[in-house]
Amino acid sequence: MTSDRKFIRVDLEALSNIKTKTISPQFQEELENKILNIGMGGIFVETDSPLPTGTFFEFEFTLPASDSQVHAKGMVTWSSKRENKGMGIKFIRISTLDKKSILEYISKRLEEKGLSIGEFEVAQSNVPTEEQGFDILIVNEISKNLLKIYFREIGFDMEVSEAIGELDCEESELTKILGSFEMLGLIKIDGSKINFYYAEDQKLRSSIESWIRDNG
């Protein structure tokens, strides 16, 4: 995770405006002035109190020598309380502009090290931008079937256990997929219930409706 071929080690002043029910104000404060590794796919945060794998949240940070903030939605994909204490956070949703800012920053740092962006192997990064958000809803058969349930249940709610039964999947599999839907504003988890909402983004709504017509 900390290989120079994937991440650049930088000092970021803070992860700010963190939005999640599972992160306390104390933890948000602890993240300030931590050394982070950053790559096109996400960031590594050094902390003695990493969040559980699968935690989704929104966050912002400012790249060094930049006035603009990068806003992203991410998921904790791994954590460690032993050597290299911290957690790896994968970008789940990030704008094209912010993605470009990160790429430019990484390119500059690589030039300082005498490396090229080709050597860094990020040109074909598969981090979804907001424009590509629909693709993360149909990554496998479980997510495709969940999308059908979503379209059927818009405006209503469903017990998580009921969804697991209908999808015939493990709870861990559903949890990961629900995170993608939640990141796009299609659902909200309220205790043991899944609340389904209309997509606010017109392009995303059109993509869903078109896919349902072809596959529903």
Supply the CATH number for residue 174's domain.
1.10.10.10
Task: State residue 30's pLDDT score.
Answer: 56
Residues of the chain with pLDDT under 50: 1-6, 21-22, 33, 119-131
DSSP-based three-state secondary structure for 40: coil
CB count within 10 Å of CB 138 equals 16
Written as six digits, the tokens of 3 are 């290989």
**CATH number of the domain where residue 85 is located:** 2.40.10.220
Q: Which strands, in side-by-side order, build the sheet including 187-190?
A: 157-159, 193-196, 187-190
Co-location of 94 and 195 in the same domain: no
Do 104 and 178 lie in one domain? The reply is: no
Domain span at 83: 8-127
163 within a domain of the structure (yes/no): yes
Kindly state whether residues 198 and 114 are assigned to the same domain.
no
Residue 52: what are its φ and ψ, rounded to 5°?
A: -65, 145
- Same structural domain for residues 34 and 122? yes
pLDDT of residue 42: 81
Are residues 211 and 145 part of one domain? yes
Q: Give the pLDDT confidence of 128-177 residue by residue, as tens digits.
A: 444 456 888 898 999 999 999 999 999 898 999 999 999 999 988 888 88
State the total domains in the chain.
2
In contact, 6 and 115? CB cutoff 8 Å: no
How many other C-beta atoms can be found within 10 angstroms of the C-beta atom of residue 104?
13
Closest CA to 36 of 132, 92, 118, 109: 109
Is residue 1 included in any domain, yes or no?
no
Last residue of a domain, one of 127, 145, 160: 127
Structure tokens at 4: 């120079």
pTM above 0.85, yes or no: no
